[in-house]
Homo-oligomer: A and B are copies of this chain.
Amino acid sequence: MNKELLKQLLNYVANGKTSIDDAARDLMNLACEDIDYAHIDHHRSLRKGFPEVIFGHGKSAEQIVGIMTQMLRQELIILVTRIDSQKAASVLQQFPDAVYDPDARMIILKKQEPIDQGKGTILILSAGTSDIPVAKEAYLTAEAMGNRVQSVFDVGVAGIHRLFSHKTLIDNAAVLIVVAGMEGALPSVVAGMVSRPVIAVPTSVGYGVSMGGLTALFAMLNSCSSNVAVVNIDNGFGAGYMAAIINRK
């Protein structure tokens, strides 16, 4: 429940559109609603500025629908991450207004378009074609949280002139997200070019000693550029979230 919905609710009470009892029930649920298999943290959108996000992996379609139904009463936007296409199809039958992105494996359900809350543009760069799903998860998350987002894909360091041809975009970004697997070198190079914060996202793309993304992760943590911080392997959602928080007006 964000501040606007809260004020609206209180207005409805003032205007008699909502009974005292109904308002009381909603407000009592505000802190933490227990639906047996999940404690929904409705208080979060007041405390943190964005509602709880549903991590779809390991939950059944029924559980996801249940949580969404509870949240929908109090939130303007709902995100479900890490949900495969089959499970998503079941969920979308219940929520025809929701949209599923098969690359990012996300469901987004908006009651209205998010208000622009960003100071500048968030730019997402990715090193290879296979890193695109993670980059898209970051893209959609940051956009849903009310930011202008741009992206350039497939600009890895093996042909570094490809990167330099986008120098204006890079220079103008307020926050950058750099997604790379394999040797994870791209964030170091990009961060060396700008004075803005760079969120680095290692991906599990690669084979042999890519170690499921550990090599890229460790390379990014060892970056000889200092304006870099790192999120978990394949965590496009976290990168988009963190970039949005940094970019918030």
Q: Which residues of A contact B (CB under 8 A)?
A: 31-32, 37-39, 41, 43-44, 47-50, 53, 55, 57-59, 63, 82, 127-130, 132, 153-162, 165, 182-185, 188-189, 191-197, 199, 202, 204-211, 213-235, 237-239, 241-242, 245-246
Contact = CB atoms under 8 A, between A and B. Distances in A.
Copies of this chain held together in the complex: 8
B159 A223 contact: no
A54 to B, nearest CB: 9
A155 B34 CA distance: 10
Contact of A219 (B63, B160, B184, B194): B184
B193 A183 contact: no
A203 to B, nearest CB: 10
Nearest to A224: B158
Contacts of A184: 183, 185, 219
B199 A209 contact: no
19 contacts: A32-B161, A32-B165, A47-B195, A48-B227, A53-B226, A57-B130, A63-B129, A158-B191, A158-B192, A182-B224, A183-B223, A185-B189, A196-B245, A208-B217, A209-B221, A216-B222, A221-B232, A226-B242, A246-B246
A189 B105 CA distance: 28
A245 B199 CA distance: 12
Contacts of A31: 161-162, 165
B218 A48 contact: no
Given A162-B32, A182-B224, A189-B189, A245 B197 contact: yes
Contacts of A199: 229
B227 A242 contact: yes
